[in-house]
Structure 1
Amino acid sequence: MPTPEKTSVDEIVSAARDLLEQDGLAGLTMQAVAHRVGVRAPSLYKRVQSRDRLIQLVAEATLTELAARLDASASFALIADSYRAFSQERPAAFHLVMMPGAGVPVAGTEFGAAASAPLLALARELAGDDHALEAARTLTAWATGFISMELNGSFRLGGDVEDAWKFGLTRIVESIMVIPDRSPASNST
């Protein structure tokens, strides 16, 4: 009779995500994960082939969670606020998927595409089909930059960061909106 499995890939990834938040990417080792799930490190390799693969699985789980949160949002403000809330709850995971750094394993493109889908849909509404991708990238870049500065404590000049978030969000959305041509020539038939 085969020995029952002591852990699953889902448990391993969950433990790795917790370790990532607790100890950063450097602390995310196979030994630490094995200890967390109650197995010896060699047993872990039966489920996850390498640390790189583990990091990739963590990135994919992170984007899956983010996609579920963003998909439940109905407006760009709600999507942006969900994105920001996620970053505050899981700053190391946010950094892993948004700014992984050279040589750090990344999630498969399908995971990024799934997380981007709600934003792309709203960007299409705001900027039109021809500029949806550019609009989504602009919105993501602004929000990611703002959030990164916020997480790093870089807003040191005073003022209310929440007001700055709302101001920036409003202005960036306004700047990419396609405004229908209302000139007299366009109204004639």
Structure 2
Amino acid sequence: MPTPDRTSLDAIVSAARDLLETEGLAGLTMQAVAQAVGVRAPSLYKRVQGRDELIRRVAEATLSDLGERLGGASHARALADAFRAFGHERPAAFQLVMTPGPGVPTPGLEFGVAASRPILQLAEELAGKATALEAARTLTAWAAGFVSMELNGGFNLGGDVDAAWDFGVTRIVDAIRAVSAG
């Protein structure tokens, strides 16, 4: 009789996501995940081929969550604020998908495309169909850079970081809108 399954792929990915936030990428090991789900490390290999696949699945789950969060935004400011809030709630996962670094497994393209859909739709409304991709990339790059600097303690000159966020979002959105008006 075969040994019963003691965990699921969803439980493994969920535990890995939690470990990523508490222990960082270096602490995201097969042993740590196995301990978190209550099995021995070799049992994980029934569900994932290894650590690289596990990291890729964590990145894919992160992008799926981000896409869902952004899909609920009704206007540019709400979308930008949702993006920033996600980065603050899941900083390690945010950095995993926004700035993975060399050699870090990356998610399948379809996950990035799905997560980008709300940004592209909003960008098309703001800038028009012809420049929607460029507008989406501009907004994403600015917001990801801003949030990454926040997460890494990059704003150390004083001042109100929230006011800087407000300033930046307003100016970026106004600039993107000006493309369709011009």
**Range of TM-score over shorter length:** over 0.9
Cα shift at 1:3: 2.7
Moved over 4 A (4+): none
Quote the Cα distance in structure 2 between the aligned partners of 1:22 and 1:72: 27
Deviation at 1:119, TM superposition (A): 0.5
Instruction: State the 1:76 CA deviation.
Output: 1.1
What is the CA-CA distance between 1:41 and the residue it aligns to?
0.7
* Structure 1 length-normalised TM: 0.93
**Size of the alignment, in residue pairs?**
181
Give the aligned residue type for 1:62: T
1:34 shift after superposition = 0.5
Aligned residue number for residue 187 of structure 1: none
Q: What TM-score do the two structures reach when normalised by structure 2?
A: 0.97
- Tell me what 1:93 maps to: 93
Percentage identity across paired residues of the two chains: 69
Letter in 1 for 2:105: P
Partner of 2:56: 56
The alignment yields a C-alpha RMSD, in angstroms, of: 1.0
**Equivalent in the alignment of 1:68:** 68
Name the structure 2 match of 1:128: 128
The answer to whether the 8 Å contact 2:128/2:180 transfers is no
Q: List aligned pairs for 1:1-189, cutoff 5 A.
A: 1-177=1-177, 178-180=179-181
Query: Are residues 16 and 118 of structure 1, via their aligned partners in 2, closer, same or farther at CA, if it must alter by over 3 Å?
Result: same
Name stretches of at least 5 consecutive residues in structure 1 with no aligned partner.
182-189
Q: Structure 2 CA distance, aligned partners of 1:94 and 1:73?
A: 18
Q: For the residues of structure 2 that align with 1:11 and 1:179, how far apart are their CA atoms? A: 46
For 1:72 and 1:180, the matched residues in 2 are separated by 26
Provide structure 2 residue ranges, at least 5 long, that are not aligned to the other structure: none
Distance 1:173 1:132 in 2: 12
Q: Identify the residue that residue 185 of structure 1 maps to in structure 2.
A: none
Cα distance, 1:179 vs. partner? 4.6
